Amino acid sequence: MNINIIETAQTKPMLISIFAIAFMTLLIAQTGRADEPAPEANISGCAVFPADNIWNVPIDTLPVHPSSATYINTIGAGSHVHADFGSGTWDGGPIGIPYVTVTSIQGKVDVTFDYSDESDSGPYPIPTNPPIEWGGDHHILILEKTNCILYELYNARQTDGHWYAGSGAIYDLKTNGPLRPAGWTSADAAGLPMLPGLVRYDEVSSNELMHAIRFTVPRTQKSFLWPARHYASSTTDPKYPPMGLRFRLKSDFNTAAFSHDARVIAEALKKYGMMIADNGSSWFISGAPDERWNNDVLHELDVIQGSDFEAVDESSLMIDPNSGQARTGGGQDHLSLLVAINGNGTVTSLPAGINCPGDCSQDYPIGTNVYLTASPANTFHHWEGDASGTSSTTSIIMTALKNVTAVFSQNPEDQWLRVGKPNGGESWKKQSKQTIVWTSKGITGNVRIQISYNGGAKWSSIVAQTENDGSYQWKVKNKKTKTARVRILSMIDPSISDMSDGNFTIK
Same domain for 19 and 81, yes or no, is no
Regarding whether 358 and 302 lie in a shared domain, the answer is no
Other CB atoms within a 10 A radius of the CB of residue 335 amount to 21
Q: Cα-atom radius of gyration of the chain, to the nearest Å? A: 25
pLDDT at 34: 31
Are 251 and 323 in contact, with CB atoms under 8 Å apart? no
CA gap 415, 403 in Å, rounded: 27
Sign of CA dihedral 303, 305, 308, 310: positive
Report how many domains make up the chain: 4
Query: Is residue 104 a part of any domain in this protein?
Result: no
Partner residues linked to 165 by β-bridges: 113
Tell whether 387 and 286 lie within a shared domain. Answer: no
| CA distance linking residue 366 with residue 332, whole number of Å | 9
- Whether residue 267 sits in one domain with residue 185: yes
Q: Is 326 part of a structural domain of the chain?
A: no
Does the residue 114 lie in any domain?
Answer: no
Residue 304: predicted pLDDT: 97
CA distance 120 to 122: 6
Asked if 87 and 202 sit in the same domain, the reply is yes
**Sequence letter at residue 19:** F
What is the number of residues in the chain?
A: 507
- Which residues are registered as beta bridge partners of 416? 441
Q: Which of these, 236, 238, 187, 181, lies nearest to 359 by C-alpha position?
A: 181
* 163-193 pLDDT, tens digit each: 999 999 999 999 998 999 999 999 999 999 9
Residues 72 and 196 in one domain: yes
* 78-129 confidence digits (pLDDT tens): 999 999 999 999 988 999 999 999 999 999 999 999 999 999 998 999 999 9
Quick check: is 223 in a domain?
A: yes
Upper half-sphere CA count for residue 146 (Cβ side, 13 Å): 6
What is the DSSP-derived secondary structure letter of residue 315? G
Cα dihedral 72/73/75/77 (nearest 10): 80
pLDDT for res 224: 94
Structural domain that includes position 8? 1-35
Cα(195)–Cα(321) distance, rounded to whole angstroms? 21
| pLDDT at res. 36 | 33
Does 285 share its domain with 235? yes
Enumerate the H helices of 293-451 as residue ranges.
Answer: 295-298
Distance of alpha carbon 422 from alpha carbon 483, whole angstroms: 12
**Both 380 and 499 in a single domain?**
no
What is the reported pLDDT for 193?
97
For residues 429 and 467, give the distance between their C-alpha atoms in angstroms, rounded to a whole number.
Answer: 25
Q: Strand 46-47 and strand 427-428: pairing?
A: unpaired
Where are the extended beta strands (E) located within 191-298?
213-217, 246-249, 274-279, 284-286
Q: Is residue 129 part of a domain?
A: no
What gap in Å lies between CA 309 and CA 312, rounded to an integer?
10
pTM above 0.85, yes or no: no
CB contact set of 199 (below 8 Å; sequence gap of 6+): 83, 85, 209, 213, 265, 285, 286, 287, 288
Query: Contact, 120 vs 113, CB < 8 A?
Result: no
41 dihedral zone (left: phi>0; alpha: psi -120 to 50; beta) = alpha
Q: Is residue 138 in a domain?
A: no
Same domain, 16 and 76: no
Give every CB contact of residue 130 below 8 A, 6+ residues apart in sequence. Answer: 100, 140, 142
Phi/psi of residue 423, nearest 5 degrees: -125, 15
Question: Do 420 and 404 fall within a single domain?
Answer: no
Same domain, 192 and 235: yes
Nearest-CA neighbor of 484 among 469, 474, 494? 474
Write out residues in the chain with pLDDT < 70, as ranges. Answer: 1-41, 329-332, 410-414
55, 147, 265, 330 from 198: Cα distances, Å = 11, 21, 11, 28
Bridge partners, residue 452, by sequence: 485
Four-CA torsion 268, 50, 230, 168, nearest 10 degrees: -110
Q: Is residue 328 part of a domain?
A: no
Cβ pair 451, 477 in contact under 8 A: yes
Structural domain contains residue 404: yes
For residue 178, cis peptide bond before it (omega within 30 degrees of 0): yes
According to the model, what pLDDT value does residue 414 have?
67
Question: Same structural domain for residues 348 and 479?
Answer: no
215 contact partners, CB below 8 Å, separation of at least 6? 247, 274, 275, 276, 277, 283, 284, 285, 286
CATH number at 449 reads 2.60.40.10
Phi first, then psi: give them for residue 459, nearest 5 degrees: -120, 145
Q: What is the pLDDT of residues 232-269, one digit of tens each?
A: 998 889 999 999 999 999 999 999 999 999 999 999 99
Going along 3-78, which residue ranges are E strands?
42-43, 46-47
b/e map of 414-437 (b: 16 or more CB within 10 Å)?
ebebebeebbeebebeeeeebebb
